[in-house]
Structure 1
């Protein structure tokens, strides 16, 4: 296994937070326990996905508010909140509140575009304004301006006997704007994120652009375009997210199930999918040594010093404990990372 030229600096994980629709409480509790486990294992960050009208976390900000009270050190992120479902002003208030509760540990990740199944949900989501809603990058810009403390109102001051009004989002958390991430899968998104001076999340999905179907090469081009456009240049923060499943301490049954899971998902990685020509990265399964070798050979991984490995969907609690433990104690150190105590 080749030695890393630059040790991995930050290691995080991502969970979808699955639950049973007939009894959602245990699934949400599992998500919180997984985050607690991540902190005990020394991970730098824990991230939650956003799944509207599905059996996964629909309100990541609320879940992370609970997580702030059960952790003390680990950073908490969203990967990602689709802003097509959100009012930027209200979201800015929620994000700032959770950041204050966490002591400045929140890393909000967002994206833009029309909500999925737009024609099916627009009547419930925007019954009066669906035809005029703006789902462009400007929706992120609005959120960023509000989070950074730019005016949200033309009125400020005392009204009545005790009411004090602010012209900006309250509470205001000064460092939150520097911890906002944009999740993008296209070259234009990467360039735009760099121009805005935000951080960049690149995941296991990219667009097949310019005729290329080389996932790793495309991801590398996105990272380089982002940093070329960012005021911080090569120091601009990028996090790569792939699905990795180490099997070092797995049982025989777990190894069989993990292999079947990866085999079922592999066909979609062989060619661009759908009208958007989406390319999916292969899930990485094997020993930590085997996975590390594959990562060192990955053109996208070679560009980053931060990763957020995604936990697979629909695994058991014991599976997640085994995977996270192996990532923290074996794969992370094989990549030059050291846990935070």
Structure 2
């Protein structure tokens, strides 16, 4: 593990529910990212969901974080391509990459189930597959074409252009263009097959908080196999750069009486097999909560954590900034150094070499 960051699901309260509302949650996310930047934490990542009281459109928040920090990477885990205009997303991603000087880790994927039935149709998009996988794939390919600078439209006749800039019929790319953006795109893979496809596509791998394989093996072992297949497929594809790989875990260091009171009962001894409502069994990860020396031992035994270069800590954002800063501070001070952590202010993180 070379880098670690936090992954926030962005839950907020609505109506008479207790807890921070949407505005407070966004402002707290910004404050948490700023504090994490001061600690040397490498990344601030946010889940994206629709028709639910949690994070939705991430770009305003990511831009605010990038503009008020120095080192921390900003990103998503993940943007649901079924709900996106791929060319507009390409413009936004390029602008964010340029504004942040490349501090972007934009995770995208087909997305997970949402409360709305075929909610992407309400956004104006129609898919053939019941879960929208075909449309997400088509949009992703178009998104990659756009960020790579290829033409995605055709210039109008000169007399119809304003201003007149192009010869009629010229292929037109989106603007702005950020030349290094492809290396900052991650595919959120929930299976071995999608991980291998991400390698063929030439993007980084963001292994999901769960995997669709469920044969009784631990999440760490299943993800380690996924990562191995990804790297083998990457090598076979012949790409000329080394990608990064991330995994997510719930980790709570117990360093004092307060953290023991808050998180001491959160630990789970094993992963769980469940369902996301699509009929396929999935493996969910366990929660780690222990004293630092025990956490180090447990995370060293987690094959996926050892295989990845980046660890995302899922944080309980509704507990407020101070509690979440204390989690990051404890992990940075007592656990991460023993796992090979390189703080953000010590330089950019690169992926593991692929031999």
What TM-score comes out, normalization by structure 2 length? Answer: 0.83
Asked if the contact 1:147–1:177 (Cα under 8 Å) also holds between the matched residues in 2, the reply is: yes
What is the number of residues matched between the two proteins?
A: 327
Asked if the contact 1:243–1:312 (Cα under 8 Å) also holds between the matched residues in 2, the reply is: no
Distance in 1 separating the partners of 2:292 and 2:240: 32
Distance in 2 separating the partners of 1:331 and 1:139: 40
Structure 1 match to 2:79: 81
Unaligned runs of 5+ in 1: 1-7
Q: Structure 1 114/73 Cα, relative in aligned 2: closer, same or farther at 3 Å? A: closer
SS of corresponding position for 2:117: helix
Report Cα offsets for 1:134-175 as digits up to 9, x if no partner. 434332222111111111111179765646478111111111
Instruction: Give the drift of 1:68.
Output: 1.8
Distance in 2 separating the partners of 1:66 and 1:306: 23
Report Cα offsets for 1:226-246 as digits up to 9, x if no partner. 001113599432112111111
What value does the CA root-mean-square deviation take over the aligned residues? 2.6
- Matches of residues 209-288 of structure 1 in structure 2 within 5 Å? 209=214, 211-230=215-234, 231-232=238-239, 235-249=242-256, 251-252=257-258, 254-262=259-267, 269-273=271-275, 275-288=279-292
Report Cα offsets for 1:178-230 as digits up to 9, x if no partner. 11000111010111011111100113311125x34432221111000000111
Distance in 1 separating the partners of 2:204 and 2:337: 25
Distance in 2 separating the partners of 1:278 and 1:75: 29
Aligned residue among 157, 164, 187 for 1:182: 187
Distance in 2 separating the partners of 1:72 and 1:246: 26
Q: Structure 1 161/234 Cα, relative in aligned 2: closer, same or farther at 3 Å? A: closer
Asked if the contact 1:36–1:70 (Cα under 8 Å) also holds between the matched residues in 2, the reply is: yes
What TM-score comes out, normalization by structure 1 length? Answer: 0.86
Structure 2 match to 1:15: 8
Distance in 1 separating the partners of 2:111 and 2:81: 8
Asked if the contact 1:289–1:334 (Cα under 8 Å) also holds between the matched residues in 2, the reply is: no
Instruction: Give the drift of 1:122.
Output: 4.8
- Matches of residues 1-341 of structure 1 in structure 2 within 5 Å? 8-21=1-14, 23-112=21-110, 116-119=114-117, 121-122=119-120, 124-126=122-124, 129=126, 134-155=134-155, 162=163, 164=165, 167-209=172-214, 211-230=215-234, 231-232=238-239, 235-249=242-256, 251-252=257-258, 254-262=259-267, 269-273=271-275, 275-341=279-345
Instruction: Give the drift of 1:12.
Output: 1.8
Instruction: Give the drift of 1:103.
Output: 1.9
Q: Structure 1 226/330 Cα, relative in aligned 2: closer, same or farther at 3 Å? A: same
Distance in 2 separating the partners of 1:52 and 1:113: 10
Distance in 2 separating the partners of 1:192 and 1:160: 40
Instruction: Give the drift of 1:93.
Output: 1.1
Unaligned runs of 5+ in 2: 16-20, 346-355
Q: Structure 1 162/301 Cα, relative in aligned 2: closer, same or farther at 3 Å? A: same
Report Cα offsets for 1:51-76 as digits up to 9, x if no partner. 22222211112210111221122111
Instruction: Give the drift of 1:124.
Output: 2.2
SS of corresponding position for 2:154: coil
